[in-house]
Structure 1
Amino acid sequence: MPSVKSRREEYAEATRQALLDAGADLFAERGYAATSIEDVVREARVTRGALYHHFRSKQELFEAVFEDVELGIVDKIVAAVATQSDAWSQAMAGIDAYLDLCLDPRTQELALRQAPIALGWTRWREIEERHALGLIRAQVESLTAAGLIRRRSPDLLSGILFGALIEAALAIAAAEDRSQARQEAGEIIRSLSEALR
């Protein structure tokens, strides 16, 4: 039998979500450094104490915002992969979905620009790897099992592909013409993928 949440639990969840939403909006609009705790609590319409009940610091709040962004990215990639029936098409759909998401200004700002600043390069990579690397590894294993790519170290190959996709994402975010950069990045990643067949 499902448990019924108390009003206090519902209020706590609503407060946490309000903080995440306010933080995401402000970090995307102003950047991590230019957003203060006071800005977040004012935007969320909660007290400073409420923020510190859920998050120990602005950095911890940002990390939770970034985790939400990453989970959203994963959900969209999984949905794109699910539309395809064979392993190769699934892998290409996943790549295309990821690169398309890199065109979204909010994703660019939070995941590619602000996250390395707010969390530091190492922590940013750890979170990226936890979400993206698992998807890539699953696709590598699927392609190998289907006989579409030669058997190699799945960890090494997944890591190399992960690196290529992150660099493509950063290039798209930094480009003057992002649509053109996305198209070129897609062509390059597809060419690299074809070379593995």
Structure 2
Amino acid sequence: MLSSSLIMQALTISELERASGVPRSTIYFYVREGMLPEAQKAAASRAIYTDRHLALLQEIVRLKAEGLPLTAIKERMAAQIASAGATDVDLVAEQNEHVRHSILVVAARLFARRGYKRTRVTDIIKEAEVTPQVFYGHFASKLDLFVESYGLFVEWMHSFLAGGLVDEPDPAARELARTHGYLGMRNLSPDLLCLVRSEALQEECDMQKVVEKSYGGMTRATLEDLLRLREQGQTALPVPDELVAFGLLGAVENMVMRVSWDDRYSTKDVLWTALFLFLAVEGAYSGRTDLTDRLTRYTEAVERLAAQPPPTPPAAYLS
């Protein structure tokens, strides 16, 4: 079973039995005799113990080996037993979260190695060491799991890139490295972004918030660079920084789509084009390229179009 990094580790009876070397029948006896705190009930036939139970069992075993009777052991350990039982931590909720995260980690690694189509739910269940009932108690479908594990992979990629870019002073070089990292995520499977983006476009979809968080992570560093550039250049551009960051990412996504159609363009072409676009944006943000007059010229057109609904084909074309 995957290990937990929680301060108070939750254990099943089987795990407690293996870790302590004490048979479960004896553990149940110690609980009845008040030598161990009651376990928290996760279900009618499932209880959650903690590493505090394990520590108490190890102490009981040690004292028994010294020849102390159970009555003396219970009296000597009274304060420890009371302390171990005095907790308001919801162990069931913590273990459920731990199991959910463990499944996500396993799934993200399998999706990364095999892609979406070649990763089977049965493989995830086997490697995560959970039952199908536990799996489907956390994730309704493979697609739901994929979208959430994709978000986890974004966090991993962001952390990996951030470590290597700490000392990089050039925002364009940082954006180039992030674009290269994005291409790595894209290589998880050919249909990766199609699946994620289709979920993002669904109105009131349960996965929409997860996708929003993933894309927020993918654009966060670019957005931070844009905010610094705006502050340094003291420019008054009439554009939302977040939309510019998403626009740069969207440009890369569309370039990747075009590259997938044939062999005309390469990864190098994508990197050069992404760099060109960022440098153009950087020039406007830094003030080196003054767009004030040109933007002002289009103010009336922007205001007029924004006040109108986007055009649709005439009814004759839709019938």
Q: Judge same fold: TM > 0.5, yes or no.
A: yes
Report the CA distance between 1:142 and its aligned residue: 0.9
Which one-letter code corresponds to 2:103 in the other structure? L
2:245 counterpart of 1:165? no
2:219 counterpart of 1:141? no
Of 143, 147, 155 in structure 2, the residue corresponding to residue 59 of structure 1 is 143
2:172 counterpart of 1:92? yes
Greater fraction of residues in helix: 1
- Number of aligned residue pairs: give it: 187
Question: Residue by residue, what CA displacement relative to the aligned partner does 1:142-188 show, whole Å, maximum 9, x if unpaired?
Answer: 1111118773412443332222233345456x3777xx723222222
Q: Determine the structure 2 residue equivalent to 1:114.
A: 192
Of 262, 275, 283 in structure 2, the residue corresponding to residue 190 of structure 1 is 275
Report the CA distance between 1:67 and its aligned residue: 0.9
Which one-letter code corresponds to 1:130 in the other structure? G
Contact 2:100–2:138, Cα closer than 8 Å, also in 1: yes
Which one-letter code corresponds to 2:231 in the other structure? A
Higher-RCO chain (CA-CA 8 Å, sequence separation at least 6): 1
SS in 2 for 1:79: helix
Contact 1:26–1:40, Cα closer than 8 Å, also in 2: yes
User: In 2, distance between residues paired with 1:51 and 1:136?
Assistant: 36
Q: 1:112 to 1:158 in 2, by over 3 A?
A: farther
The structure whose Rg is larger is 2
Question: Structure 1: which 5+ runs fail to align?
Answer: none
2:134 counterpart of 1:50? yes
Contact 2:114–2:188, Cα closer than 8 Å, also in 1: no
SS in 2 for 1:151: coil
Identity between Structure 1 and Structure 2 (%): 20
Question: Structure 2: which 5+ runs fail to align?
Answer: 1-5, 12-90, 202-207, 284-319
User: In 2, distance between residues paired with 1:15 and 1:111?
Assistant: 26
Q: 1:194 to 1:96 in 2, by over 3 A?
A: closer
Report the CA distance between 1:12 and its aligned residue: 5.0
Which one-letter code corresponds to 1:93 in the other structure? A
With the length of structure 2 as denominator, give the TM-score of the two structures.
Answer: 0.48
Question: Residue by residue, what CA displacement relative to the aligned partner does 1:32-53 show, whole Å, maximum 9, x if unpaired?
Answer: 3454432321233321122134
Which one-letter code corresponds to 1:98 in the other structure? R
SS in 1 for 2:237: coil
Q: 1:117 to 1:144 in 2, by over 3 A?
A: same
Q: Determine the structure 2 residue equivalent to 1:7.
A: 10
User: In 2, distance between residues paired with 1:149 and 1:135?
Assistant: 20
Which one-letter code corresponds to 1:57 in the other structure? S
SS in 1 for 2:107: helix
Of 101, 106, 110 in structure 2, the residue corresponding to residue 22 of structure 1 is 106
With the length of structure 1 as denominator, give the TM-score of the two structures.
Answer: 0.71
